[in-house]
Structure 1
Amino acid sequence: MPIRACIFDVFGSLVDWRGSVARHVAGVAARKGVTLDAIAVATDWRAEYQPGMARVRDGARGYVPLEVLHLENFDRVLDQHGLSGAFDATDRITLNQAWERLDPWADVPEGLAMVRAQRLVAPCSNGSIAMMTRLARHGGLVWDAIVGADIARDYKPKPEVYHASARALGLAPSEVMMIAAHNDDLAAARDAGLSTGFFPRPTEHGPDQSTDLTAEQDWDVVAHDLKDLAQRLTDRT
């Protein structure tokens, strides 16, 4: 079947979580007079991402939106850094909003517009609809819809997230392409019956990144960045 919609991983693939969270944390800390290593806090905060979602995926707790998990995870990170008393409840909520204020990578606004000129586009993120809405406004990302974890009430890489996303767009999985800079996300999407598109984000985790530098399978489209992927999709039309 032809590809009628492209759905996107967001954190890392489209937006720079590491640099953006670090800048936001550093700014709040400076206003409060708190000394910390903002990059280390951002990195450790992200390290709690998968363990937090795993408890939902495994059925140990019911579905809660990602911003709830992020706030819980942040308390663990503050404790790890000896900062558990440094921020009050209002500060913690403000800090948690960092995940709604992530800056897009340079190729993303134009590349996303190029894809959208051809097909429906939507985020298929573990972020909630509320988070994706605010993130889109912050970064100037234009979507036709928002799908992903919130509509599935579960987290990637569970197959229902991909299936629910396709259903929400009124399409069969084979009519949808999952686009991401993460090989594991694409492997799960392929297993769920979706087409796949890959481009690397070689500095998502900083200058010494060692993962997801290249395509690890023969994904349907492999590109250098999102603009290149959009052009390759045009060539397939």
Structure 2
Amino acid sequence: MSVPTDLASSVRVLAFDIFGTVVDWHGSIVQEMAQLHPEVDGGAFARAWREGYKPAMARVMSGELGWTRIDDLHRMILDDILPRFGLAGLAEAERAHINHVWHRLHPWMDSVEGLTRLKRRYTICTLSNGNIGLLTNMAKSAGLPWDCILSAEVFRAYKPDPATYLGVARVFDLAPGQVMLVAAHHEDLAGARACGLRTAYVERQFEFGTSDPKDVSPQPGNDLHCESLVALADVLGA
């Protein structure tokens, strides 16, 4: 892919969506459930947990719930789905341990190499709905070399609220066009574009598992479309 020189040089900060873009939430949860509760369909469990994510955030954004960290929303969803999988009797300690699987998610195979290369040329940061403690623990566990961890918790707003995207530019005292959002979700990228950020789509065809591949076809509007973070580093000359 040919990238305009002005794009590669004008962008100063790369902000990354995390769940599904940098780390494999589905595969990580399936693996942990196979170890802890092999009788449970780990793929169905992972998808059911993730399906509760947007409705839970919507309760916060509507004002039904006050500001709530993703850790706490994840726990609410977990407690709700456990009976469906025959796990209603789990003790508090095991529920807490399972809930913190989100802190232990594994990176995609290209993530650490890609981020390490991109960090040489750009400031790289998270822009996730995950809370700061979660993202910090994940970075330590997965070896993710962030320059800075930014979160919805910092801005007290969940993506796609403009406060999150514009907040990154404000943190670094940059114009929105000097920030690029990197994500595997077109809705997220559309929100960033509406705020004036540049956007790069990364293909994660198996975000929901190999049995449920995503359509990763290019969509108009994004500045870049790459197969991986290593490919993004190649395109940006990092």
Bucket of the pairwise TM-score, normalised by the shorter protein = over 0.9
Structure 2 residue aligned with 1:27: 35
- Do the aligned partners of 2:206 and 2:213 also contact (CA within 8 Å) in 1? no
- Do the aligned partners of 2:178 and 2:198 also contact (CA within 8 Å) in 1? yes
Structure 2 residue aligned with 1:95: 98
Q: 2 CA distance for matches of 1:179 and 1:90?
A: 36
Structure 2 residue aligned with 1:157: 160
Q: 2 CA distance for matches of 1:207 and 1:183?
A: 20
Structure 2 residue aligned with 1:168: 171
Offset at residue 212 of structure 1 (A): 4.4
State whether structure 2 residue 205 is matched by structure 1 residue 206. Answer: no
The code of the aligned residue for 2:18 comes to V
| TM-score of the two chains, using structure 2 as the length reference | 0.92
Aligned length: 230
Q: Which runs of 5+ in 2 are unaligned?
A: 1-5
The code of the aligned residue for 1:82 comes to G
Q: 1 CA distance for matches of 2:127 and 2:158?
A: 10
State whether structure 2 residue 75 is matched by structure 1 residue 42. Answer: no
- Do the aligned partners of 1:132 and 1:146 also contact (CA within 8 Å) in 2? yes
Q: Which runs of 4+ in 1 moved over 6 A?
A: none
Trace 1:85-234 onto structure 2 (pairs within 5 A). 85=89, 87-209=90-212, 211-234=214-237
The code of the aligned residue for 2:17 comes to D
SS at match of 1:177: strand
| TM-score of the two chains, using structure 1 as the length reference | 0.92
Of residues 76, 80, 86, the one that matches 1:76 is 80
Please give the per-residue CA displacement for 1:21-79, whole angstroms capped at 9, x wherever unaligned: 1212232336xxxx322221111101111111111122222211100000000011112
State whether structure 2 residue 71 is matched by structure 1 residue 63. Answer: no
Offset at residue 234 of structure 1 (A): 1.8
The code of the aligned residue for 1:12 comes to G
The code of the aligned residue for 2:15 comes to I
Percent identity of equivalent pairs: 38
